[in-house]
Every structure is written in structure tokens, then in C-alpha cells.
Amino acid sequence: MTQFDSVEFADADLIVVGAGFYGMTIAERAASEGFKVVVLDKRDHIGGNAYSYVDSATGIEIHKYGPHVFHTNSEQIFAYLSKFTEWTPYEQRTWSLSKGRIYPLPINLATISLFNGRVMSPAEARAWVAETAREITEPRNLEEKAISLIGRPLYETFVKGYTLKQWQTDPRDLPAEIITRLPVRFNYDNRYFNDVYQCLPRDGYTPLFAKMCATRKIAVHLGVDWFDLPDHREPPAPVVYTGPIDRYFEFRFGVLGWRTVDLELETHEVDDFQGCPVMNYADADIPWTRISEFKHFHPQRAYGPRTVIAREFSRFAGEKDDPYYPINLVEDKARYNSYRELAREEKTVFFGGRLGTYRYLDMHQAIGAALSAWEKHLRPHLANGAPLELREAG
């Protein structure tokens, strides 16, 4: 077992728990300024949930924890990550299967025209949606927000069933922000994201992570759970902790609500299984939420005649599961606030990332938060001994 008396720990200026985008960005920044960093992850690989590997049977790059598409409007974040990878241009286009019919997502003019069985102009579509959305004026939850944006008929066709499967929670109890992740357009633009930069690492995510930590200043220990280290309450250096915040405090205020995802991989002896990278399944009676077909993320690669798909099944995360999506019900928010108060008392531990701050962060947001935390809190702490506190920006 890894011990604090190993040379790396004894020498470390900073310990980072979690080798996902948040932890690796902090580690890379610290190392670039000469600090010695130890990174730990309980998994047997770097990359956190963005980890991908090459399937040995087909040569196809598989995103182990579900499909990950990089997108951002931030030139700074794009430039930062570009130091570690070349890019392949890639714009996500998703389709939705509802009651035996195929529609483009996010909801756009083609979706609305197909749904109504006639060609509609942008103005006609807008007027139709406004009419069907009129019942909600002050949305207070996901269902009401969705209806206010797209009207009840589109909500019931594309959102209700999918959301029930994804969250197993009444959409009237879910926060409205979840649905605002999806754009609604009254033109034929069917890109899933609006962002200026949309791309995939040309050689895959894992080589990108490997390059981030390819320096003698960073020692990576895999397969090590922070809480299994006998002296983890008295670490020899400041700690950036990117695991679940409730676990850190031994669930003192109860468990925070998380969703996890089971991915069932299948290899098919066909060149093309579904004709697109991601197909969402809108109907509540189909148990999976979506199917990803990984070869379509890299059409420029010469993949062979077979294909690999992943069916995604969402469920509540138990104690042994990897938490993926914070549910953020009202009681979760109150609980998180209590944990955050405890976190403020930890003078040598900084909480960050999706799990450490109980936030629904995309990759660019995790990287952006880490860059900002490094500048505002961690570098001043390491360089000048400024106090280390969990802040909103963390």
C-alpha cells in the first residue's frame, strides 16, 4: 500500500486526489511552476470520467464512462488544453427515437416540422411553440421550464420519458437548470452544442491526460483510495480533493443524491449499427436512455468492418458506485451547504471538481474552475502560505 513515508509523499508540495480533468489541471499547473505533486486515483487509470481506451478486438476508441465531446466558448481553456493534444473537429449531432419515429435533437425547425407533419417557417414554428407553451409563465422546476421553452406536446414527446429514465425523479422535483443545457432553435441548425470550439482529442483522451502529467514533478499512483491511506487525516502536504464531498466527511449530514450510469457494451459484426454517434430513446418503456456508437466520433479514422455500441442505463448511485450526476433536489442543496461549511474549516484541504463541489460540470467547466482555483487560491497558498479555503469558484 502507498504510504506517506514514501519518497514522493515526503517530498510533495501538493497532493491531488483524483486524476480527472480538475485534479490533472491543478497538478499540471503546479508542476509547471516547479512544485512537486503526487496524484492519486482509486481507479486503475488516469482521466477520471473522460478516460477512453482502444478496444483490442476492433481498434475503436471507447469512452469508458459514456460519450465525451469537448466544447467550450473559452479561448483560454481551449488554448490551455491544446498544449496537450491536437484536435479533430467534431460537432455533436444527436437523434431521438420517439414512438417509432426519428427526429433531430436538440429541438430545431426540422424537429418541429416533422412533429407537426408539415414544413413550417421559423415564424410559424415560433408561434406554434409560443402557443403550446403559454400555460407556464413562471417556471419553477424542470417540467415547467421545459414546457415554457418548447410547449407541452414537445415536452411529452422528447423530454418527459427520457428525463424520467435519466433521473427516476418526478420532473416537477428536478431543478430547471438541467433542461436549459439543451438549446432550442427555430432554424435547421441541429448541432447539440452552441459553442465556438467543438472537437475531440485527435489521438484520444488518455494520451492527452498522459501528456498533462508527463513530467518528473508529478508522481501518479493509481488504484489508491485516499481513505485507505492510514494517515490521510494528517497529510504531509496540502491536498486538493476531487472525490465526493459527502464521503470525505463520512456522510455526517447524510448521502448526497447522485445518479450513476451502467454502460452495456456490444460488438456487432456490421460496419454501421445505427448510422449516427448518439441515438436518444425518448419513450419511457425502453429501459436505456441512449445508445452511443463510438466509431462515428472519429469518421476520419480507418476503423474495420465491425462496430462497438454502448447502451446507457441510468440509476441511483449506491455507496459502491461511481457518482456521475448530482441530482440537486432541495434537500441535496441544503445538505451540500452543510458540507461546504465543514469544508471551509479544513485548512489544508481544497475541494474541487464535479464530485468535490457537487456540481454538474462539463469538462471545460472543470478545467476552467481548476485554472481559476489555481490562480486565486492554490498558487498563493503554495507560494506564500495564504490560507486555503473552499470558495464558490472552487
Which residues are part of the catalytic machinery?
181, 185, 259, 290, 312, 360, 362
The listed partner (ligand FAD, ligand UDP, none) that binds 48, CB under 5 to 8 Å by sort, is: ligand FAD
Q: Is the peptide bond before 106 cis (omega within 30 degrees of 0)?
A: yes
Number of shown-chain residues binding ligand FAD (CB under 6 A): 35
User: Looking at 115-123, 156-164, 241-249, 375-383, which segment touches ligand UDP (CB under 6 A)?
Assistant: 156-164
The listed partner (ligand UDP, ligand FAD, none) that binds 182, CB under 5 to 8 Å by sort, is: ligand UDP
* Angle 270-271-275 from CA coordinates, rounded to 5°: 105
Residues 113, 140, 330, 289, Cα dihedral to 10°: -10
Map residues 305-344 to x or -, x wherever contact with ligand FAD holds by CB under 6 A. Answer: -------------------x--------------------
Among 22, 167, 205, 258, binds ligand FAD (CB under 6 A): 22
User: Looking at 59-67, 118-126, 175-183, 209-217, which segment touches ligand FAD (CB under 6 A)?
Assistant: 59-67
Verify binding: residue 105, ligand UDP, rule CB under 6 A: yes
Verify binding: residue 373, ligand UDP, rule CB under 6 A: no
The listed partner (ligand UDP, ligand FAD, none) that binds 40, CB under 5 to 8 Å by sort, is: ligand FAD
The listed partner (ligand UDP, ligand FAD, none) that binds 297, CB under 5 to 8 Å by sort, is: none
The listed partner (ligand FAD, ligand UDP, none) that binds 195, CB under 5 to 8 Å by sort, is: none
Say which amino acid occupies 127: A
Among 97, 182, 210, 329, binds ligand UDP (CB under 6 A): 182
Among 92, 148, 190, 280, binds ligand UDP (CB under 6 A): 280
User: Looking at 6-14, 103-111, 134-142, 224-232, which segment touches ligand FAD (CB under 6 A)?
Assistant: 224-232
CB of 21 to ligand FAD, least distance (A): 4
CB of 149 to ligand FAD, least distance (A): 21
Other CB atoms within a 10 A radius of the CB of residue 113 amount to 18
CB of 269 to ligand FAD, least distance (A): 26
Verify binding: residue 66, ligand FAD, rule CB under 6 A: yes
The listed partner (ligand FAD, ligand UDP, none) that binds 4, CB under 5 to 8 Å by sort, is: none
User: Looking at 39-47, 172-180, 302-310, 334-342, which segment touches ligand FAD (CB under 6 A)?
Assistant: 39-47
CB of 82 to ligand FAD, least distance (A): 16
* CA quadruple 239, 240, 245, 247: dihedral sign: negative
Residues whose CB falls within 8 Å of the CB of residue 51, separated by 6 or more in sequence, listed in order: 43, 45, 63, 64, 65, 205, 206, 209
Number of shown-chain residues binding ligand UDP (CB under 6 A): 13
Residues making contact with ligand UDP (CB under 6 A) = 96, 105, 158-159, 162-163, 166, 178-179, 181-182, 280, 282
Residues making contact with ligand FAD (CB under 6 A) = 17-23, 40-43, 48-50, 65-70, 225-227, 242-243, 261, 324, 353-355, 361-364, 366
